[in-house]
Structure 1
Amino acid sequence: MIRTGLVRALSKLGESTSRAWQSTSMRELSSSTQTFAPVMPNFSYVPVPYTGPSAEKVLQLRKTYLSPSLSMHFRKPVMIVEGKMQYLFDEKGRRYLDAFAGIVTVSAGHCHPEIVKAVNKQSELLQHTTTIYLNNQIAEYAKELADKMPGNLKCVYFVNSGSEANDMAMMLARAHTGNWDMISLRNGYHGMSMATMGACGHSTWKQPVPQSFGILHAMNPDPYRGLFGNDATKYAADLQDLILTATSGRVAGFMAETIQGVGGATPLVQGYLPAAYKIIREAGGICIADEVQTGFGRTGTKYWGFENQGVQPDIVTMAKGIGNGLPLAAVVTTPEISASLTKRLHFNTFGGNPVCSAGGRAVLRVLDAEKRQEHCGVVGAHLLKRLNQLKDKHSIIGDVRGQGLMLGVELVKDRHTKEPAKDATVEAMERMKDMGVLMGKGGLFGNVFRIKPPMCFSKDDADFLVDVMDEALNKL
């Protein structure tokens, strides 16, 4: 009874503190700008009072003990200590709308109760075993995931990250075809291992070390900045020319995202992938769909991004939203292609870990039960409409694009020249953070807002985000 009373008292204290903070911040903002600040949608959840080290102390520890290559997302860093569904909380109890989902990783929502329950239950039974033993979680999960795939994509490999998944997909392509050259797209992103770094078509993510051996980059079929606009046939012709002039005429494979995530939520010209897949297969290669960010219904209309272009890949890679934050990823291919690795042993210590498998299974159940694919389509269409209205108001917005809850807003200094407004993007993102919205950014020039929130994001959240963005752009 004493403990229950204490918890209730602390909850009330946390709630009153949070409300007082929000009230104070809104009054100060209104006074300084003489306008009404956007108000975040109501959310009936009180964060647990934080008792750990201060943000200043954590920053000091980070600078002392963590890699100096790790960057901070804002000029004034945010310290996140708790999350619930589409919202995050800092150490002082302030609530933020998460519009980036931990870099497109939180699919069902932060700390979704059904996923937490599944993970905790499995943790109490068995936290780790490997594929040298039988375990029901990995076997049942493989079937449930394969059931989501079209065609003969029925063989599943579990790994730990998108980089590892794409690395393995490239190895499979080379082992199966006997060819060496891989082709990916400029502006694409596929990971940070040595092999996948080479596949990236984005200098930001390429260390100045030897990489890209056997990897060629085709022209990016970008409807907004691409040389050929929306002409899929011309981009396909460039791919054909690349194979004829820069390879032996035979290739191992082709890897592409349907909507380039890190590259600024950039969709591929409609009709490009069918043409590209045909060209690659005629050259002896296989086709790899990188679904690390576009998978699991995020685009709204289809469960997998590649389905929006009407193609059937030979290999599909997935990560991020697959585990709602758990270190989980997968490579799914055909039995014929997977047999190419049986000449030697293949092993992954943590791939298909029972805890991660239990969590992954729960993600599939939640996304289906809550109809998140349909939800992404409805909320995404509403958000896209509002963002286009914002584009009509602000000339700094050069392009609004994407599908479902994978959207991009590109800022430019001039709509005709399309000169990137990188500094303005950073400034606007900082102002949005101060008003309670955590945004992502990306693109080759760092001038694109990446809007990829948890898939439980609501229309009210969308309206709040657009109102905050409007206010931030007004102040530039």
Structure 2
Amino acid sequence: MHKILARIHRPSWVGKTVERVSRVHLPSGAMCQNAEVKHSAIQMPPCDFKPDPYQGMSKERLLEIRKQNCHPMTMKVTYYKRPVFIAQGHMQWLWDVDGRRYLDLFAGVATVSVGHSHPKVNEAAVKQLNRLWHTTVIYIYPQIQEYAEKLASLLPEPLKVVYLTNSGSEANDLAMLMARLHTGNFDIITLSGSYHGGSPQSLGLTANSVYKYPVASGSGCHTTMCPDVFHGLWGGKHCRDSPVQTIRDCSCSPGHCEANDRYIEQLKEMLCTTVPNRIAAFFGEAIQGVGGAVQYPKNYLKETYKLVRDKGGLCIADEVQTGFGRTGSHFWGFQGHDVIPDIVTMAKGIANGFPMGAVVTTKEIASSFAKGVHFNTFGGNPMACVIASSVLDTIVENGYQENSAKVGTYLLNELAKLRDKYEIVGDVRGKGLMIGVEMVTDKTSRAPLPAEDMDEIFEDAKDMGVLIGKGGIYGQTFRIKPPLCITKADADFFLAVFDQALHNYTERR
């Protein structure tokens, strides 16, 4: 801890205004000119942390090894035409091997919940590292019991039984197995555009062809229409539980959503035509993550849960991205829909990037699963439990859920102003720090902005010092899911950068 504190100082360039140039990647604080499109002066917020000098392999050698020795899929998913070579992180900031600083608004795909290398979490990890790295549940050790009790205390009754895994895909696989064993049924329903993992079983739940392979996977999984009130068949201007509504018009009476009625009718038809009379489960995210921060009409999940239970199925909430205070108003995303699932799956932010996942369910469902033996070597090991426990403490003690609501709402409202300013910004949506900005060719057609156009804006924001994500079925949605520790000053910096990137794009047309 003393070593960490000793490295903190205020860089000499902090507070200076930086002028950044389109299509040129500049170090923080650099000044230059460009004959193309010049960015107006945008000041990066100060950071009193000095990263260690990078002394590792050259960028050329790193790329060479990545191409030769790493699976080709790693090159396929590498972000940016001019990749970012990350060397170190601290809270909401990342530094590359050249010492350039970036505001991280994607958090390792919504995974770094409390901040990169958070001092409190680091301290807990180091302390446990020196005591006991690993043992398994064949023995009784305090860390897993302590964490299970703490996690269960944050969930409503009767969700009090915890099974720990290593990832979200693994947690969703396990939830599928539990649902089938408990109900005696087989078929499972999910929404189009959803992403629930990349394992052979969870791929059946993932309804996006980009992640599919031409092999048998996820037998018994079925997809129903996603109630996307912006891009879907039906929508309106009062549908979502969000500070920002769609630009679509509607004639719904107060308190009634006709779009919701239509999407529920589609689900009823699917239940009558596609699956057996008895089903095992329905899987749903509170807000779609990889799908592009898609939100449903306010009562959709509540009505869906009733229909599923009438068919003998369990309701499973995938909180891999929406959990742990990210949506701001509640600790769990499903709480914003006024429902209580039968099973909850979680991962990503659960341990701030340390590999961990969990399935939480009822005693009754857990008893059905206990009829056989399921063993996980690494799930719930002491290191994972201590880190995850420290993450829970940090979220509560630092008020990160409240910060997510405050900064997230501010971001959404300000992004809505950019939507009104630019024809290519079709929709702004989300809750807390689970935000999507859907890009279109024009607001009338709502046709997705082409991939190459998305990449221009994406690269430009990166070159100005901001890292964001992409999602949606057509890759048309910018995903903003930062560590929950970001500040209003960080939000203002991003808004200025994003505004400039959009302006640059329109100027080039």
Fold shared by both chains (TM-score > 0.5): yes
Residue of structure 1 equivalent to 2:330: 302
Residue of structure 1 equivalent to 2:62: 58
Structure ranking higher in helix proportion: 1
Kept in 2, the 8 Å contact 1:259–1:267? The answer is yes
What secondary structure sits across from 1:367 in the alignment? helix
Aligned-residue offset at 1:281: 0.3
Aligned-residue offset at 1:252: 0.2
Residue of structure 2 equivalent to 1:341: 369
- Whether 1:473 and 2:502 are equivalent positions in the alignment is yes
Aligned-residue offset at 1:243: 1.6
Of stretches 389-398 and 203-212 in structure 1, the one that deviates more from structure 2 is 203-212
Deviation digits for residues 279-306 of structure 1 (CA, Å, limit 9, x no counterpart):
0000000000000000011101011000
Residue of structure 2 equivalent to 1:38: 42
- Whether 1:375 and 2:385 are equivalent positions in the alignment is no
Kept in 1, the 8 Å contact 2:28–2:101? The answer is no
Kept in 1, the 8 Å contact 2:103–2:466? The answer is yes
Residue of structure 1 equivalent to 2:249: none
Aligned-residue offset at 1:420: 0.9
**1:185 & 1:254 partners in 2: Cα distance?**
9
After superposition, where does 1:315-394 map in structure 2 within 5 Å?
315-394=343-422
Pick from 438, 452, 462: which aligns with 2:491?
Answer: 462
Residue of structure 2 equivalent to 1:124: 130
Residue of structure 1 equivalent to 2:256: none
Residue of structure 2 equivalent to 1:432: 461
Kept in 1, the 8 Å contact 2:11–2:48? The answer is no
Kept in 1, the 8 Å contact 2:27–2:99? The answer is no
Deviation digits for residues 378-433 of structure 1 (CA, Å, limit 9, x no counterpart):
00111111101111111110000001001001111111111111322111010100
* Counterpart residue identity of residue 55, structure 1: K
**2:274 & 2:472 partners in 1: Cα distance?**
27
Kept in 1, the 8 Å contact 2:114–2:394? The answer is yes
CA 146–413 in structure 1, closer or farther in 2 if over 3 Å, else same? same
- Whether 1:293 and 2:321 are equivalent positions in the alignment is yes
- State the TM-score, normalized to the length of structure 1: 0.95
Kept in 1, the 8 Å contact 2:192–2:207? The answer is yes
Pick from 430, 433, 446: which aligns with 2:475?
Answer: 446
Pick from 213, 217, 222: which aligns with 2:219?
Answer: 213
* Counterpart residue identity of residue 310, structure 1: D
How many residues are matched?
A: 468
Of stretches 338-347 and 349-358 in structure 1, the one that deviates more from structure 2 is 338-347
Aligned-residue offset at 1:16: 5.5
Residue of structure 2 equivalent to 1:416: 444
Kept in 2, the 8 Å contact 1:138–1:354? The answer is yes
Residue of structure 2 equivalent to 1:186: 192
Residue of structure 1 equivalent to 2:176: 170
CA 29–122 in structure 1, closer or farther in 2 if over 3 Å, else same? farther
Aligned-residue offset at 1:210: 1.1
CA 130–260 in structure 1, closer or farther in 2 if over 3 Å, else same? same
- Whether 1:105 and 2:134 are equivalent positions in the alignment is no
What secondary structure sits across from 1:156 in the alignment? strand
Kept in 2, the 8 Å contact 1:233–1:275? The answer is no
* Counterpart residue identity of residue 328, structure 2: G
What secondary structure sits across from 1:330 in the alignment? strand
* Counterpart residue identity of residue 283, structure 2: M
Structure 1: where are the runs of 5+ without partners? none
CA 47–235 in structure 1, closer or farther in 2 if over 3 Å, else same? same
Identity among equivalent pairs (%)? 47
**1:134 & 1:405 partners in 2: Cα distance?**
37
Kept in 1, the 8 Å contact 2:39–2:500? The answer is no
Kept in 2, the 8 Å contact 1:259–1:402? The answer is yes
Residue of structure 2 equivalent to 1:264: 292
User: What is the Cα-based RMSD across aligned positions, in Å?
Assistant: 1.9
**1:247 & 1:101 partners in 2: Cα distance?**
38
After superposition, where does 1:142-157 map in structure 2 within 5 Å?
142-157=148-163
- Structure 1: 4+ residue segments shifted above 6 A: 17-21
Kept in 2, the 8 Å contact 1:260–1:266? The answer is yes
- Whether 1:397 and 2:403 are equivalent positions in the alignment is no
**1:301 & 1:157 partners in 2: Cα distance?**
26
**1:393 & 1:236 partners in 2: Cα distance?**
34
- Whether 1:93 and 2:99 are equivalent positions in the alignment is yes
* Counterpart residue identity of residue 97, structure 1: L
**1:29 & 1:258 partners in 2: Cα distance?**
45
Kept in 2, the 8 Å contact 1:265–1:406? The answer is yes
What secondary structure sits across from 2:201 in the alignment? helix
Kept in 2, the 8 Å contact 1:11–1:48? The answer is no
Deviation digits for residues 128-167 of structure 1 (CA, Å, limit 9, x no counterpart):
0000000100010000000000111000000000000011
What secondary structure sits across from 2:479 in the alignment? strand
After superposition, where does 1:190-205 map in structure 2 within 5 Å?
190-205=196-211
Deviation digits for residues 361-393 of structure 1 (CA, Å, limit 9, x no counterpart):
000000000011111000011111110111111
* Counterpart residue identity of residue 401, structure 2: Q
* Counterpart residue identity of residue 187, structure 2: D
CA 11–372 in structure 1, closer or farther in 2 if over 3 Å, else same? closer
Aligned-residue offset at 1:245: 1.2
**1:260 & 1:206 partners in 2: Cα distance?**
18
**1:314 & 1:163 partners in 2: Cα distance?**
18
Aligned-residue offset at 1:311: 0.3
What secondary structure sits across from 2:222 in the alignment? strand
Residue of structure 1 equivalent to 2:120: 114
**1:55 & 1:30 partners in 2: Cα distance?**
25
* Counterpart residue identity of residue 463, structure 2: D
